[in-house]
Chain A
Amino acid sequence: MPIEIAGSPRAMHATRKFLSFVLAFLCLGPLLATASMGQAEAAMIFVTNEKDDTVSVVDSQSLKLVNTIQVGHRPRGIIITPDKKDIIVCLGDDAQLAVIDAQSMKVKRLLDSGPDPELLNISPDGKTLYIANEDDSLVTVMDYKTGQVTQEIPIGVEPEGMGVSPDGSIVVATSESTSMAHFIDTKTYKVIANILVDSRPRYADFTHDGAYVWVTSEVGGTVSVIDAKTHKIVKVIDFEIPGVRPELIGPVGINFTTDGKRAFICLGKANRLAVVDTSTYKVIDYVLVGQRPWHAALSPDGTKLYSANGLTNDITVVDVASLRAEKSVPVGRLPWGLVVRP
């Protein structure tokens, strides 16, 4: 069994990059070019760079960096509003959110979020923001139009994950130090269930049908699948990668494919994305990307997945159908999260 030393993923990554580049050039290139000619306009990938205080914008067709936006200090969580007009970024060290106009790529508004916002989410109607205040054990609820904080909901220590149900009725917040997923009713703002999961839960997301909530545990190295109605854990997904030490497997981001049949789980220091079948909970494959991917985002047509690789300062393009890493594009320092504007 090959033992992976920390220097080698990068080498493997480079080799793989090179091979995929050659392959793409030889056979896929012309196909891709034909396919992309049908699209009117390229989608834009917005990446938060935690260390650089910037958001990098990458053109999804040319895969070139087209813009670098100065946003404020320690940008991490990033979302796009349901109408795709605004991109909202958590500025942890400024206690603010920056709102970027998705077309002009300019910061057009700053909102006071409460201390240390790390990650946020928005209601399906685009009216309400749910913000994890990592330093303050709070979920802040904000009216997006007015920027007014309407509620502060105390949960466990170090809130981070913030999953919103498809109908908007439930928010699931995770608290990293308390190791829990807290179910919050968005009508009453009451916490209706607290589910103990493995260590350091960092992200929560509902399946497309709203039936299950998936919660990643970074230090525990697992994903808990929770029944959204009964609040029971129905499955704990483990990961085992030949040649990679278990302690390096740190699940963080979750992305369900457009058809909902698969989930991509970012595995942090394992430098891979796990591909999980959502009906059998079996791991289908592991895709090697850059170092320490924490979050990823799907292209608007669902054919590509982009991972933000914190330690290699790049994003990796993964083909959803073939599960191949196609290319990595350099962005800023410590890329954290990303969204795609159609």
Chain B
Amino acid sequence: MRAEPNTDKQRPVVRFFRSLPIRRRELASGLLALLLGGFVPLIGSALPSAAQQPMPAAQPLQVNILYLSRQYDEPAPLSLTEKVVTDKGVQGARIGIEDTNRTGRFLSQNYRLSEAILGLDEDFKAKAKAALASGANLIIADLEKPDLLALADMPEAKSAVILDIRTSDDSLRQEDCRSNVFHILPSWAMRADALGQYLVWKKWNRWLLITGKNPPDLGYAAAVKRAAARFGAKIVDERSYAYAAGSRRTDTGHQQVQQQMPLLTQSAPPYDVAFVSDESETFGDYLPYRTWDPRPVVGTQGLFAVAWHRAFEEYGGTQLQHRFEREVGRIMTERDYAGWMAVRSIGEAVTHINSVKPADVRAYLLSDKFGVDGYKGESMNFRTWDLQLRQPVLIVDPTELVSISPQEGFLHPKYLTDTLGFDQPESKCRLK
């Protein structure tokens, strides 16, 4: 979708229809109804509670979730072995809807996803306002920071529940946090801490930090420095990679890369790992095997920290991987997992409260009762101070699961997972 400039706002939806396998027809007709009729006024809050003894109600509780995204420019993976995927996130949300409807059909609840994937040339604010005005208030936001904040700050969105499935930016969990925005993916700080704990456990305490020049690269680098300070590691030197993003396809590319990477890393003080901060994915994949000294590469490439990865199959994870691959025909990316998790979080809440009022959903998401099974072997919930999902974080390389953080011995009085990222006392988030 991203590659094709799109002026017809209906087109992504049309494309979605065309690509539908038979099994999704039902969802499709639901979507069609939504498109024709706008958002149906949400009914069902008056239905009796169905928590323990599900009795098929006369009219199922309709749970409408809006998936809001834009066709942002994303760098293609440096590696040609990786597929260019343009529907990350939304596919996970669709599987989440299918999974949740399996429970819903026993409880007389029907979950529907309406997808609004806007072109970059479209007026985001106007479209988002229109969606909110027509009743969307459970929203999965596959949006970059400026759009996410624009959405969250609209007066119409004040009472909405917005689940951010795209960003890891710490500022959105700190000074730029919003009381209507929940964050599914681990923040940069959580990722850097997850890796940092593993490195400290390995006693690889001397890090050579190599940073790209884009703001996200600097943001992740700040998280790495914070992790080093927290866990007693040392950043022996900091280098900056200043070349522009290269083309994915070159006829004679490897010679230059082979020269550049040793130059970038030569004459460094003694270090254990090269810690790369390349959120923009412009050079990190080139570092392994090319550093001046023979050292492992960790950070945003090499050994990295993620919420989900194909190599992960513990705690029933295999089943989710298989379900996704069967339906979608490709592997489940981290953003797909976040999309799935966002739907499951709403589903878990609505299953128990049998209400679709955003205030009820929000209250349940933040209550002691809430816990969602994300195939990590433990119940997951949200931090009340910055609305970040608590979660174990996978430590992986491109093909293998290496470990899962938090690591042994990193303790916390409440949740072990709160050793990752900003804990309550250090939070700069003030929810209003």
CB closest residue in chain A, given B372: A199
- Does B129 reach chain A (CB closer than 8 Å)? no
Size category of the binding interface on chain A? 20 to 34
Chain A 209-225 interface 0/1 with B at a Cβ cutoff of 8 Å (1 = within): 00000000001110000
Contact between B416 and A232 (Cβ–Cβ < 8 Å)?
no
Contact of A221 among B103, B106, B379 (CB under 8 A): B379
Task: A120 to B316: give the CA distance in the assembly, Å.
Answer: 17
- Does A157 reach chain B (CB closer than 8 Å)? yes
Chain B 39-75 interface 0/1 with A at a Cβ cutoff of 8 Å (1 = within): 0000000000001111000000000000000000000
Contact between B415 and A247 (Cβ–Cβ < 8 Å)?
yes
Contact between B379 and A219 (Cβ–Cβ < 8 Å)?
yes
**Cβ contacts under 8 Å, B377 to chain A:** 219, 250, 269
Contact between A177 and B99 (Cβ–Cβ < 8 Å)?
yes
Contact of A247 among B102, B322, B379, B411 (CB under 8 A): B379
**Cβ contacts under 8 Å, B379 to chain A:** 199, 219-221, 247
Contact of B107 among A3, A176, A196 (CB under 8 A): A196
Contact between B411 and A156 (Cβ–Cβ < 8 Å)?
no
**Cβ contacts under 8 Å, B409 to chain A:** 5-7
**Cβ contacts under 8 Å, B99 to chain A:** 157, 177-178
Task: A179 to B53: give the CA distance in the assembly, Å.
Answer: 13
**Cβ contacts under 8 Å, A6 to chain B:** 408-409
**Residue of B107, B372, B377, B408 most packed against chain A (CB within 10 A):** B377
Contact between B416 and A158 (Cβ–Cβ < 8 Å)?
no
Chain A 230-267 interface 0/1 with B at a Cβ cutoff of 8 Å (1 = within): 01110000000000010110100000000000000000
Contact of A196 among B52, B322, B372, B373 (CB under 8 A): B52
**Residue of B102, B373, B378, B409 most packed against chain A (CB within 10 A):** B378
- Does A138 reach chain B (CB closer than 8 Å)? no
Contact between B106 and A219 (Cβ–Cβ < 8 Å)?
no
Given A158-B316, A178-B102, A194 contacting B408 (CB threshold 8 A):
no
Contact between B54 and A194 (Cβ–Cβ < 8 Å)?
yes
Task: A233 to B318: give the CA distance in the assembly, Å.
Answer: 31
Chain A 90-114 interface 0/1 with B at a Cβ cutoff of 8 Å (1 = within): 0000000000000000000000000
- Does B277 reach chain A (CB closer than 8 Å)? no
- Does A180 reach chain B (CB closer than 8 Å)? yes
- Does A205 reach chain B (CB closer than 8 Å)? no
Contact between B373 and A200 (Cβ–Cβ < 8 Å)?
yes
**Cβ contacts under 8 Å, A5 to chain B:** 408-409, 411
**Cβ contacts under 8 Å, B408 to chain A:** 5-7
Query: Main secondary structure on chain A at its contact with chain B?
Result: loop
Contact between A177 and B319 (Cβ–Cβ < 8 Å)?
yes
B370 to chain A, nearest CB (A): 10
A53 to chain B, nearest CB (A): 16
Given A232-B52, A247-B415, A180 contacting B378 (CB threshold 8 A):
no
Task: A98 to B340: give the CA distance in the assembly, Å.
Answer: 35
- Does A195 reach chain B (CB closer than 8 Å)? yes
Task: A248 to B379: give the CA distance in the assembly, Å.
Answer: 9
Docked complex: B320-349 residues within 8 A CB-CB of A:
322-323, 348
**Cβ contacts under 8 Å, B52 to chain A:** 195-196, 232-233
Contact between B103 and A179 (Cβ–Cβ < 8 Å)?
yes
Contact between A158 and B372 (Cβ–Cβ < 8 Å)?
no
A55 to chain B, nearest CB (A): 21
Docked complex: A170-199 residues within 8 A CB-CB of B:
175-180, 194-196, 199
A194 to chain B, nearest CB (A): 4
- Does A316 reach chain B (CB closer than 8 Å)? no
B100 to chain A, nearest CB (A): 9
Contact between B411 and A158 (Cβ–Cβ < 8 Å)?
no
Task: A247 to B409: give the CA distance in the assembly, Å.
Answer: 16
CB closest residue in chain B, given A175: B102
- Does B135 reach chain A (CB closer than 8 Å)? no
Task: A62 to B359: give the CA distance in the assembly, Å.
Answer: 62
- Does B351 reach chain A (CB closer than 8 Å)? yes
- With A156-B103, A199-B348, A247-B378 known, 5 other A-B pairs at CB within 8 A are A135-B323, A157-B99, A178-B99, A194-B106, A199-B379
Q: List 17 A-B contacts (CB under 8 A).
A: A134-B319, A135-B319, A135-B323, A157-B102, A157-B319, A177-B102, A178-B99, A178-B102, A179-B103, A180-B106, A196-B54, A199-B372, A219-B378, A220-B379, A247-B379, A247-B416, A269-B377
